[in-house]
Amino acid sequence: MAFDFGKYVPNSFKYPKGPDATFKRVNVNQVRYKELLKEYEEGKVNKLRIERFEQKWMEKEEDRERRWELQFKHNELKDNLLKDFAHFKQNGKEFIKKCLDLGSKGMGMFSKWWMFKPKKSCGSGELKQSPITGKWHQDYKPNKSRKIRDWLKAAENGEVFTNSLNKNRVKLNRLPTEEEYGISDEATLKRHTQKWRWFLKETNYMGVSDPEKRRKMWEKPDSRVDYK
C-alpha cells in the first residue's frame, strides 16, 4: 500500500485561489424568492419587484466565498475518508499502524466502527456495513407481522392506519358519509378545473379571441357554452 503524502500537505497550499464563475451567488430567502418568481410568471408582480428583492436578499461576496470554502473542505474530507477506508480494507493492520505513527493527525483518519459492529438501537433488522464508506445501516424488519384475516378484523374496528391516515379510528368496512361524499366531489372538481385551465393556457383558449367567451371558459369549465 502506497502512502499518500499529498494528503498531509497543509490545506492552505492545496486550496484554489477562490470560486470560479460557475459558483454563483444564491438568494438567501429561497422560499419567498420562488413565490415571487411564480407571481411574476402569473403577471401579479413586475420585473422591478424581482430586481429589488434580489438586491436585498442576494448573498454577499464574502458569504459566497465562505460557502465555497466550506463546500470545498467538505468534499475533500469526504474523498479522503473514502480513500482511507479503501486502504483500510486492503491492509487494516498496516493502515492503523501508520495512522498511530502520525499521532493526533492520524487518529482522525479512521473510525473505530470500521472494525467494530455497533449495537442495534431498536428493531430486529440486520446491521450491514457499506463496502464503500464503512458506515452501518439497519434493515427494516417489522417487530410483529399480522395475517390478512387479523388485519381485516382490525379494519372492522378501525384499528389500522392509526398513525397517519386513520387517526380517528374510523371503521373501514362502511360506506362514506354525505360529508365525505361532498369533500370527495369538491376535490374532484378542483382537479378537473386545474386540468381544464392548464389546457386553456397550452392551447391559447383553443383559438378563441373574444374576451367574454374566454372569461366564461375560464370560470365555468363544465358549462355548455358555445365557445366558437
Could you tell me which residues come within 8 angstroms of residue 174 by beta carbon, excluding any fewer than 6 positions away? none
Question: pLDDT tens digits, residue range 32-70?
Answer: 888 888 988 998 888 898 888 888 888 888 888 888 888
CB atoms closer than 10 angstroms to residue 65: 13
**Confidence band for 104, pLDDT divided at 50, 70 and 90:** confident
| Neighbour-count burial of 159, counting CB atoms closer than 10 A to its CB (0-12 exposed, 13-18 middle, 19+ buried) | middle
Q: Rounded mean pLDDT of 172-178?
A: 80
What local confidence, expressed as pLDDT, does residue 14 receive?
54
**Confidence band for 108, pLDDT divided at 50, 70 and 90:** confident
What local confidence, expressed as pLDDT, does residue 17 receive?
67
**Confidence band for 135, pLDDT divided at 50, 70 and 90:** confident
**Confidence band for 160, pLDDT divided at 50, 70 and 90:** confident
pTM (predicted TM-score) = 0.42
